[in-house]
Amino acid sequence: YVSGDIFRINPSFRKIPDSVVIIGGGYIGLETASFLSILGSRVKLVEVKDRILIDMDKEIIDKLYPLLPEMDVYFNNEVKSIEKVNERYKVNLLQDNGNRESIYADAVIMATGREPVFPDGLDKIGIVYDRHGIKVNSGMQTNIKNIYATGDVNGITPLFHAAKRQSLVAAHNIMSDGKLTDYYDPLSVPYTLYTIPQMSYVGITPEYAIRNNIEYTEVKYDLKEDTLAEAFDEMYGEITLLVDKRMKIIGGYAIGNDAGNVINEIALAVKNGLTARDFAEMAHQHPMTFEGLDTAARKLF
């Protein structure tokens, strides 16, 4: 199976297996592993690297990982072959130290990532691209100024809501006769990992800041203090804001209850240059996890 077999309308994957092997520790693999574990499957997740979600900030992922539902994770393992043995599957692994191991399950799900599908003729007309996507500027223009590429095909932010924003940017620039009047900012687009619990981030992350010598201060709100998390008996995770020396909110992340909603307000702050004081002076509604935003920001004053 692949993710489409599970998540499309009228899926072919319709029965929760007693056990499942999921190949790939990226976002599709982790989301699927979370759902199936909660629904009762014994999940075995195989990842070729030494940690899950290798393309995401390690500080954030290290906080998420202990909160995930029960699953066995096989790090540093490459899948060499899959065999059908009676009604089950035998997945043969090669570890990076050369050892071999086989694991068994009632179903196997391939979740090793996606690649853009390019239209025919790119080379013929001279469009610049690589395996990650078609190259565009911040106005969504390719190297041929009257040709635009938006959405997953440019590989910048492969998310549905990012594609909508990119399409608007392209439309505005097309309507202005190719003069750039609108620009796409990938750092202001929120990302949510729909694991259990959710994890969301936007803007500058700690790892990005350190790598690019960006000075920042972190302020945190622990969901153990949160009324809504208490009501749902999900008192784990946190909201963290990253603030620069001008007190502007440059990024943030949330793990736990309502993370996918909370991150939108942080994204709005990043996009519009709001400050920690803007959050600190906001009376967020009670009882909502959004209260954590002003609570965290007030720690700076």
Catalytic residues: 286
Q: How many CA atoms lie within 13 A of 155 on its CB side?
A: 16
DSSP string, 272-296: HT-BHHHHHT----TTSTTHHHHHH
Residue 169 has φ and ψ, to the nearest 5°, of -60, -50
Alpha helices in the chain (DSSP H): 3-7, 27-38, 58-64, 122-125, 160-175, 206-211, 227-231, 259-272, 276-280, 291-297
- Per-residue burial over 83-104, b if 16 or more Cβ lie within 10 Å, else e, is eeeeeebbbebbeeeeeeeebe
